[in-house]
Amino acid sequence: MSDEDYTSSRLMEFLRQAPEQGLLNSAVAKSRFIAVEQVFTELNGSERRDIRMIDVDTLCARLHKIQGSTIRREVVELYKARVQAALTDYFAWLENPTSFSSIGGESSRGIKRTAVSDRETSLETHALEEIALSTSERRPDLVSIPLRENVTVFVANVPLDLTEQEASKIARVIEALVQGSATGKSRAQ
């Protein structure tokens, strides 16, 4: 291993090639690549030349401070987790490429895939919804339904010529999602 292996460009190259080599699931590699790309805009010269010097917490704090209110804290936290995972996996791969196993990037050769944690999914979904809503004009095909304090559901692509039968079908799908209901329990069993 040379010092050249520890440059930011080599990490990016690893993330691009990992799915092709069966080291990481394609979606995981892509999400990590995007996070690294966004966060690494704040690297200083020495960190760019030697990624072993990166303190991910400090780097993300710089990103959030510089970007100010244009990037939400949840997004920064998501990026931080993905950048840390990308660095950890990359260093492990450099250390021993033949016995490499991802810390959570599910190899594309893997038979069993573990589910993403509910918390990470929730944070990501919330962040993506906020980004979509804050950066776009009001969409005529997007209906917002306030359920309770701090909980709003957005229904997209509702056709203007929605029939009563189609509305009923949508309602039945939503009712099936109710946790603990008799309808939900009977369908799950």
Contact 82, 31 (CB under 8 A): yes
What are the pLDDT digits (tens) for 94-108?
A: 998 888 888 765 554
What are the pLDDT digits (tens) for 18-63?
A: 988 889 888 899 999 999 998 888 888 889 889 999 999 888 888 7
Q: What is the DSSP letter of 141?
A: T
Tokens linked to 9: 């460009």
Region of 156 on the Ramachandran plot (φ > 0 left; ψ -120 to 50 alpha; else beta): beta
Whole-model pTM: value is: 0.55
Q: How far is Cα 77 from Cα 22, in angstroms, rounded to an integer?
A: 27
What are the residue boundaries of the structural domains of the chain, listed by start? 3-131, 138-188
Greater pLDDT, 159 or 44: 44
